[in-house]
Chain A
Amino acid sequence: MHPLLTRPRQLGLYLLAWFPLAGILVFLLTGPAGLKWGEATALIVAPCLAYAFVCLAAWYPCRATPLEKSGFIKLLLTHLTAAVLLSTLWVRLIEELAIGFMRWPRFAGLEQRLERFIPLLWVTGILLYVLSVTFHYVLLAEQASREAQERALQARVLARDAELKALRAQVNPHFLFNCLHSVSALTSSDAGKAREMCILLADFLRTTLRLGGKETITLEEELALVRGYLAIEKVRFGARLHMEEEVQKQTMETLIPPLLLQPLVENAIRHGIANLPEGGVIRLSVQEKARVVSIVVENSFDPESPAPLKTGLGLDNIRQRLDTRYGPEASISVKAEGNRFQVSLRLPAQQNGVVA
Chain B
Amino acid sequence: MSGAMDKKIRAVIVDDEELARQMLREFLSAHQEIEIAAECANGFEAVKAVTELKPDLIFLDIQMPKLDGFEVLELIGTDRAVVFVTAYDEYAIRAFDIHAVDYLLKPFGAERFETALQRARQRLGGKLPPPTELSSSARPASQPLERIVVRDGTRVFIIPIAKLDYAEAQDDYVALVSEGKKHLKQQTISSLEGILDPSRFLRIHRSYIVNLEKVTKVEPYSKDNYMVVLSNGTQLPVSRSGYARLRDFLDQTRAK
Contacts and interface: CB of A to CB of B under 8 A. Distances in A.
B17 A237 contact: yes
A189 interface: yes
A266 to B, nearest CB: 14
Interface string B1-25: 0000000000000001111101100
Contacts of B105: 177
B143 interface: yes
A246 interface: no
Interface in A250-290: 274-277
Interface residues of A, number: 26
B16 A277 contact: yes
Interface in B86-129: 87-88, 105-109
A352 interface: no
Contacts of A183: 107
Interface string A44-74: 0000000000000000000000000000000
Contacts of B63: 274
Given A178-B17, A178-B106, A185 B66 contact: no
Main secondary structure of the interface of A (DSSP, over half): helix
Nearest to B67: A305
A77 B65 CA distance: 81
A350 interface: no
A233 to B, nearest CB: 11
Given A174-B87, A188-B26, A189-B22, A236 B65 contact: no
B107 A184 contact: yes
Interface string A158-192: 00000000000000001001101111111011000
A306 B106 contact: no
Contacts of A307: 146
A298 interface: no
B87 A181 contact: yes
A186 B19 contact: yes
A236 B158 contact: no
Nearest to A189: B22
A42 B105 CA distance: 86
A222 interface: no
Nearest to A309: B143
B240 interface: no
B87 A178 contact: yes
Contacts of A238: 18
Contacts of B16: 274, 277
A235 interface: yes
A235 B22 CA distance: 13
Nearest to A176: B87
Given A181-B19, A188-B26, A276-B65, A304 B106 contact: no
B5 to A, nearest CB: 26
Contact of A185 (B19, B44, B45): B19
A275 B65 contact: yes
A277 B160 CA distance: 19
Contacts of A177: 87, 105-107
Contact of B158 (A181, A184, A277, A304): A304
A269 B176 CA distance: 33
A274 B17 CA distance: 9
A185 B158 contact: no
B65 A185 contact: no
Contact of B147 (A174, A275, A277, A304): A304
Contact of A277 (B20, B26, B41, B107): B41
A185 B146 contact: no
Contact of B19 (A235, A302, A306): A235
Contacts of A309: 143
Interface in A295-321: 302, 304-307, 309
Interface in B12-56: 16-20, 22-23, 26, 41-42, 44-45
Contacts of A277: 16, 41-42, 44-45, 65-66
A275 B45 CA distance: 14
Nearest to B44: A277
Contacts of B23: 181, 184-185
Given A177-B107, A182-B20, A306-B146, 15 more contacts: A174-B87, A177-B105, A178-B87, A181-B19, A181-B87, A184-B107, A236-B19, A237-B17, A274-B65, A275-B66, A277-B16, A277-B45, A304-B147, A304-B160, A305-B66
24 contacts: A174-B87, A174-B88, A177-B106, A177-B107, A178-B87, A178-B106, A181-B19, A182-B17, A182-B19, A182-B20, A184-B23, A184-B109, A185-B20, A189-B22, A236-B19, A274-B63, A274-B65, A276-B65, A277-B16, A277-B42, A277-B66, A304-B160, A305-B65, A307-B146
Interface of A: 174, 177-178, 180-186, 188-189, 235-238, 274-277, 302, 304-307, 309
Q: Which 10 A-B pairs have the closest CB atoms?
A: A181-B106, A177-B87, A185-B23, A181-B107, A185-B19, A277-B42, A184-B107, A180-B107, A306-B146, A182-B19
